[in-house]
Amino acid sequence: MLSIFNISSTGINFYKNSLDAIAHNVANVNTVRTMDESAVRRQQVVGTAYTSSAPSMVGTGGAVGGGVSFKMVESATAVGVVTYDPDNLLANEDGYVRRPDIDLTTEMADMIIAQRGYQANLAVVQRATEAYQAALQLGR
């Protein structure tokens, strides 16, 4: 009976964590590092449909109701984008610095998708709550 809340809550958690990862990426899009340091890595939330046989990950809603399980992953490479910027204080003797390999356009598109997904799951919870309240009113 309450599986709809389990499913939607995993969706809400998935998209909330996605928005957190996107916020991290946008905040660090212009972060400059020395050539001795690794570049800021892009974070992303990866989700899969949850089944009772799926391995336990963050945000699972339990076997009842399914939902989505997810985990936070970072980009595999820490090289980033090596740019020539001899005027930067962090530049090495050859004038190079590391910048993250984060595309702001991609992050903005992902943010819109995550916002809509969050809103959709929240709307499901609200509609289900209204339906259950109406059913309770009929029983009185």
d(CA 133, CA 32): 53
> What are the tens digits of pLDDT across the range 2-14?
688 888 999 999 9
State residue 108's pLDDT score: 97
Give this prediction's pTM.
Answer: 0.81
Residues of the chain above pLDDT 70, percent: 88
Angle at 30 between CA 104 and CA 114, to 5 degrees: 35
What is the DSSP code (8-state) at residue 35?
T
- Which is nearest to 72 in space by CA: 26, 9, 121, 20? 20
Residue 57 has pLDDT above 60, yes or no: no
